[in-house]
């Protein structure tokens, strides 16, 4: 039997521009900067630590890797219900963030948006609907 795990310590996203990505994640997620955890090499910051209230996200300077992850969706964040996705849809519009409409998934609803590096971030509902074999299709957002 494998030893137990207790959760996720932090998520790590490669970014092409650390300062722009930092500002974007603070604006879009309302993230709190954990400045005391930032990483430096030769006096230059190469990683920023952000508290999203439910998880810590590290933005790490790695332009080549960020480019490779364009249109990839490494994580799906949770919201309670469809009304929450609709609030996010409005919020993302106000922030000028490109996003999908609220889409019906297999058992819940999903909203997908892009960060500055073109990485897809998904929001999915904990609330469910009856399982469907015909979820919404969107070639761009759900590929």
Domain 8-67 class in CATH = alpha beta
Cα atoms found within 13 Å of the Cα of residue 15, Cβ hemisphere only: 25
Quick one: pLDDT at residue 133?
A: 95
Name the helix (H) or strand (E) containing 104: strand 103-104
Contact at 8 Å (CB) between 49 and 58? yes
Quick one: pLDDT at residue 33?
A: 98
pTM: 0.92
User: Candidates 3.30.1300.10, 3.40.50.12280, 3.40.50.360, 3.10.180.10; correct CATH number of 69-133?
Assistant: 3.10.180.10
Quick one: pLDDT at residue 132?
A: 94
Cα atoms found within 13 Å of the Cα of residue 22, Cβ hemisphere only: 16
pLDDT per 10-residue tile (average), the chain, 143 residues: 94 98 98 97 97 96 98 96 98 98 97 98 97 95 90
Residue ranges of domains in the chain: 8-67, 69-133
């Amino acid at each position: 039997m494998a030893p137990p795990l207790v959760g996720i310590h932090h998520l790590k996203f490669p970014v092409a521009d650390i300062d722009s990505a930092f500002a974007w994640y603070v604006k879009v997620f309302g993230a709190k900067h954990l400045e005391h955890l930032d990483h430096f090499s030769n006096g230059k910051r190469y990683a920023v630590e952000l508290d999203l209230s439910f998880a810590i996200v590290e933005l790490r300077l790695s332009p080549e890797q960020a480019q490779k992850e364009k249109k990839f969706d490494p994580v799906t964040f949770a919201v309670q219900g469809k009304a929450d996705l609709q609030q996010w849809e409005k919020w993302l519009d106000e922030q000028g963030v490109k996003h999908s409409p609220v889409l019906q998934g297999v058992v819940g609803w999903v909203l997908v948006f892009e960060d500055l590096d073109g990485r897809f971030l998904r929001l999915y509902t904990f609330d469910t609907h009856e399982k469907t074999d015909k979820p919404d299709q969107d070639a761009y957002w759900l590929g």
